[in-house]
Amino acid sequence: MSVTRIAVIGSGPSGAYTAQLLTEESESPVEVDVFDKLPTPFGLVRYGVAPDHPRVKSITTSFAEVFEETPGVRFLGNVHIGTDLTIEELRARYDAVVFAHGAPLDRRLGIPGEDLGGVNAVREFVSWYQGHPDQAVDAFVLDGRRAVVIGVGNVALDAARMLVRTPEALRLTDIPEHVVESFAGSTIDEVVVIGRRGPAYAKFTNKEFIELLEVESTDVIIDPADLELDAEQQAVLAADPAARRLVATFQKAAERGSLGRDKTIRFLFDRTPAEFLGDADGAVTGIRLVQTSDPTVSETLEVDLALRSVGYLGKPLDGLPFDERTGTIPHLDSRVVDGDEVVEGVYVAGWVKRGPNGVVGTNRKCALETVTSLLADLGERDGASTAASADEVDDLLRSRGVQVVDWNAWRAIEDAEIATGAAVDRERIKLHVREDMLQVAADAPEPLGSPEPELAGASAHA
Ligand code: NAP
Atom of ligand 1 nearest to the CA of 122: 26
Provide the pLDDT for residue 387: 96
Q: How confident is the model at residue 103 (pLDDT cuts 50, 70, 90)?
A: very high
270 CA distance to ligand 1 centroid (A)?
15
Higher-pLDDT residue of 121, 380: 121
Ligand 1: which residue has its CA nearest to atom 16?
310
pLDDT tens for each residue of 258-286 = 999 999 999 999 999 999 999 999 999 99
pTM (two decimals): 0.94
**CA dist list (Å): 371 to 298, 338, 346, 349, 368:** 51, 20, 12, 9, 5
Ligand 1 in reach of 32 Cβ (< 6 A): no
Provide the pLDDT for residue 451: 58
φ and ψ at residue 277, rounded to 5 degrees: -110, 150
Percent of the chain with pLDDT over 90: 93
The domains of the chain, with CATH numbers, are: 4-104+313-402 (3.40.50.720), 108-310 (3.50.50.60)
φ and ψ at residue 220, rounded to 5 degrees: -110, 120
For a ligand 1 pocket test, name from 52, 152, 236, 290 the mutation site with the most ligand atoms within 8 angstroms of its C-beta. 152
156 CA distance to ligand 1 centroid (A)?
7
Pick from 329, 310, 443, 389: nearest CA to 74:
389
φ and ψ at residue 139, rounded to 5 degrees: -65, -30
Higher-pLDDT residue of 2, 419: 419
Overall average pLDDT of the 361-370 stretch? 97
Ligand 1 in reach of 355 Cβ (< 6 A): no
- The yes-or-no verdict on residue 460 having pLDDT over 60 is no
Overall average pLDDT of the 381-403 stretch? 94
Provide the pLDDT for residue 457: 39
Ligand 1 in reach of 242 Cβ (< 6 A): no
Ligand 1 in reach of 153 Cβ (< 6 A): yes
Ligand 1: which residue has its CA nearest to atom 33?
154
Residues 298/289, Cβ–Cβ less than 8 Å: yes
Overall average pLDDT of the 435-449 stretch? 90
For a ligand 1 pocket test, name from 150, 158, 203 the mutation site with the most ligand atoms within 8 angstroms of its C-beta. 203
Mean of pLDDT over the chain: 95
